[in-house]
Amino acid sequence: MPYQETFVAFWNQVKESVQEGNFAKLTMSKTIGKLELKNIFVRPVYSDDGFKVLLKFRYRLRETEDEERELSLDEAFEVIKAHLKNPFSIVILFTTSKDVTFKINKKGISSLAETPPTFRSITQAKRDSE
């Protein structure tokens, strides 16, 4: 199965976790090559305007300041999708009921794996500037 189809199934689990109120965090990791961008983190933000996420770009060099954006879940999907395979090969969904790992290998073959939850509770994101 092409990795894009597997990622859509993975993202459906992300949306489900938001609807169930147990979405804790999403992390993109394992870059292909040593790039400036090290990780992308997605944390929940609950507000009067509804559910949003704080997307944080973490860079390898300490001199490079992290970049943050508050987005809708659909907007975050587009950003995450654009960084799949180039440069990230792993995306981990952390919920309070389970963790789900999406991986793409060097041949472009993807897989999903579930493990017991890392998080027992949800911590809302706060901007570094707050």
Express each pLDDT in 66-117 by its tens digit. Answer: 899 999 999 999 999 999 988 889 999 999 999 999 999 888 899 999 999 9
Give the β-pairing of 50-59 and 110-115: unpaired
H/E run at residue 82 = helix 73-82
Every domain of the chain and the residues it spans: 3-115
User: How many CB atoms lie under 10 A from the CB of residue 126?
Assistant: 11
Per-residue confidence (pLDDT) for residue 130, from 0 to 100: 47
At 40-69, the pLDDT tens digits run 999 998 777 788 999 999 998 878 888 999
Cis peptide before 2 (omega within 30 of 0): no
The answer to whether the Cα torsion of 97, 5, 12, 28 is positive or negative is positive
CA 103/CA 101 separation, integer angstroms: 6
